[in-house]
Every structure is written in structure tokens, then in C-alpha cells.
Amino acid sequence: MNTLIFVLASFAVALALGLIAMDDPGYVLISRVPYEVEVSLALFVLVLVLIFTGLYLLVRFLLRLVTARRDVSRWNERRNRARAGRDILHGYARLIEGDFAEAERELTVRLAHSDTPLLNQLGAAYAAQQQGDFARRDAYLDAAAAGGRRFRDAVSLTRARLQYQAGQVADARATIESMPSALRRRHVVQRMEAEVLRSQEDFKALEKRLPYYRRHDAFSREELGELEQQTYGRVLRLEAPTPENVNELTRAFSSLPESARHEDDKLLAYVAKLVEGGQVKRAADVIRNEQHHHWHAALVPVFAGLDMDAAEKTRQMLVWLERHPEEPLLLYHVAHLKNAAGDAEAAQGFYVKAIRHGAGARAYLELGELLERAGEHAEAMRCYKRGLQVRGNRGEPRPQSSTANSKES
């Protein structure tokens, strides 16, 4: 473009001089013995312009010839960059479509010319993983991490996510633990770490991290409560071994959300673990305290079965009976204890009340045994028959509660 402008300007100057020369052509004399050259001024100037223009064009041609290789290289680079930009769009489109082999090819074919190599490498890593080639995935991630410190955190997060998605939970955990502390403070990393630890069922490590999550508000209150319940509740599982230190068991139960601590299954598991650990007195105190604030019929047979003084158990259940006079489980177990203590008359009365309020087959059978010992064989047979009918019809080997889990008013 510059050359064309220069040529046009030269001809414009020559034309202007020609027009001027029509009025006063003048002349130029060039003398060198023995030669003399005399031409008009207009012609001389025109010749000079042509010579200068020719020299300029020649120099420009020679310079372009010298720099031709560099210019061609620059042109190719611009073209490859433009194509690399289109390759990213095509590559990610193939990722979305699920054509992972083609996506990887598109994202890597002009990787060296891409203005955004990080996008190419992360996309190619995902595509390689979807094809099951974890070695190639890691190679892309390593190349992305080597591209500079600015995006190293993004690469680490992507590596951990891909490893977890691929089932490489231990590798994902190692990646998270190798992250700098500033990165590990981010909520997304804390949530990912909790998920990894939960997948590994490493609840001891998760327990250590829970205060950190709570301090940095990585989870909502509901999410944190669920996580705490899963973490601390492991101690209360039937298949979990009883901790040697009973304080760990108590701390685990106390760490459950308030509502969970009043659920039957959690209470029964906690008491069972205390009894298994030899803490019968503490188990009894837990039941007494809970029954004072929240009535649980399911705890009555557990309390009745504790290895402790029978008279003390009877006294406690009589206190409960004052507040829950129609509780069939409570009536049945008071009757059972009275019967075991030899107080047949009181036992018979409680058995009758228990049956009246819906006690199961066992109450009938035990009442029948008591009547048989008292010589009332006909009444005993009727109780046996009725007990077998209840057991056969309802399939209830033990008395059922009509007020289970009712909150004490």
C-alpha cells in the first residue's frame, strides 16, 4: 500500500512539473569535456523522478526478498493461531457431544499455536480420562501445571476432581493434601476433601477436619449437621467396635445434632454400646435422664434388661408408671419384675392391666404360668390359648407400645 501511494505521488509531481514546463520549459546543461548534454528542465526532472522511483522499487524488492522467509513464517503463525482458536471451539463441542477421541485430537493438534493452552490441556485431560487413559491425562495436567504459577491452583483442583471421578480416591486425597494452605481454605476444596474422606470412610481424619470446616463456614448448618452425624454416629453403629475409652463414645453421642440424640435408634445404640463396654450404671442414668424429658417406650425393655438391682429397676418403672399409666410395655415389665420377685398378686394385677392396654402374647403366656402355679388351671389354659392366638395372628413375640416416642407433656 505504501509503495502504491509513493508511485502515485511521483507521477502526480511529474504531471505537475509537465504542466508548469508548458509555459516555461527552461533548460539544463550538463557539460563534461568533450561532451555536453542540454535538455529541458521538465524532462530532466521527469527523468530524475523516474530514476528515483525505480531505485525505490528495486530496494523494496530486494528487502522483501531478504525478509521473505520471515514474512511467510509470520503469515503461517497467524493462520495457525486462527485455526487453533477454531480448534478450541470444535474440541469443546466434541466434548459436549461425547466424542472424546475427536475432542482430544482437536484440542491438541495445534496446541503449540494456541493463545489459551491451559484450556486445551485441561479439556484434553478430561477427554483422555473418559477414554480410560489416565497416564495421558496426567501428562496433559503436568504440562498445564508447568505453564506457569498463575493457573496452578486451577490445575490442582481439576486434577483432584478428575481423580475422584475416576475412582482414584487415594490419589485425589493426596492431591488435596499437597495443595497450599491458601487453596485448602477455599470452600470448594474443603467440600471436595470432606467427600473424599467420607468415601474412604476415614472418619477419624474427618473428625479432625470438622472444626476447620465449621470455622470457615464451608458447609451450611444442615450440611454440617449431617456430616457430623455421619462422622460421630459411626461409633454408635452396631457393627462398629465399642471404643476402649467410654468418653469417646459419650463425646460421639453428644456431637450428634440435638434432634438425632432423641431418636430411638441412636439412643438404643448408645445404651447398647455403654452396656457392652461395662458402663451399666451410666447406661441406666442415660435412660433415666432421657425418659424424664422425652418418653421412649423402646427404652423400657432395655432398662428392664440391665444387669442391676431388680428392686431399683422396679422402683424406677413404678415412677414412670405414674406418668404413663396406660403404657403396655411398662406395665408388662413391672409385672415381670414383680413376678420374678415372688409378688404374685401384684404381678397378676399388672399383667391384666398390660393385656387390657394391648400387651402382646408374652404377657398372656406369663400370666398363664402364674395362674397355673396358683392352681387356677382353667384360667391358665385360657391365657395360654389366647396368647397363642395373639402370637399367631399378630406375630408379636413381645408386647407392643401404644405410646412409643410420645413426648412427655
* Res. 385 pLDDT band, cuts 50 70 90: confident
d(CA 235, CA 256): 11
Q: What is the pLDDT of residues 132-171, one digit of tens each?
A: 999 999 999 999 988 877 888 999 999 999 999 999 999 9
Asked if residue 68 has pLDDT above 70, the reply is yes
pLDDT score at 270: 83
Summarize pLDDT for 99-133 with one digit per residue, the tens. Answer: 999 999 999 888 888 888 888 999 999 999 999 99
SS (H, E, C) 44-79: HHHHHHHHHHHHHHHHHHHHHHHCHHHHHHHHHHHH
Contacts of 71 (CB under 8 A, 6+ apart): 64
SS3 state of residue 374: coil
Contacts of 381 (CB under 8 A, 6+ apart): 368
Residues in a beta bridge with 37: 30
Q: What is the mean pLDDT of residues 358-379?
A: 86
What is the rounded average pLDDT of the residues 17-21?
63
Structure confidence at residue 36 as a pLDDT band (50, 70, 90): confident
Q: What is the CA radius of gyration of the chain?
A: 47
Residues of the chain with pLDDT > 90, as a percent, come to 28
Quote the pLDDT of residue 224: 82
The set of cell numbers assigned to 210 is: 470438622
Query: What is the Cα–Cα distance from 291 to 309, expressed in whole angstroms?
Result: 19
Segment 349-374 shows an average pLDDT of 87
Determine the distance from the C-alpha atom of residue 71 to the mean position of all C-alpha atoms in its chain, rounded to a whole number.
52
Contact criterion met (CB below 8 Å) for 339 and 367: no
Q: What angle do CA 228, 229, 235 make, to 5 degrees?
A: 105
Predicted local distance difference test score (pLDDT) of residue 93? 92
Tell me the three cell numbers of residue 107. Answer: 484440542
Determine the 3-state secondary structure of 2 from DSSP. Answer: helix
Separation CA 344–CA 255 (nearest Å): 45
- What is the CATH T-level fold of the domain 293-409, as seen in this structure? 1.25.40
Of 20-34, 45-59, 214-228, 283-297, give the range with the top mean pLDDT.
Answer: 283-297
Q: How confident is the model at residue 407 (pLDDT cuts 50, 70, 90)?
A: very low
Q: Is the pLDDT of residue 404 over 50?
A: no
pTM above 0.75, yes or no: no
d(CA 355, CA 364): 7
Residue 312 has a CB neighbour count (10 Å cut-off) of 11
Interior CA angle at 249 toward 244 and 255, to 5°? 150
* CB-count burial class (<10 Å; 0-12, 13-18, 19+) for 87: buried
Between 244 and 33, whose confidence is greater?
A: 33
pLDDT digits (tens, 9 = 90+) for 283-306: 999 999 998 888 999 999 999 999
According to the model, what pLDDT value does residue 21 have? 60
SS3 268: helix
| More confident of the two residues 78 and 163 | 163
For the chain, what are the domain ranges? Answer: 2-66, 220-278, 293-409
Nearest to 307 by CA among 271, 267, 331: 271
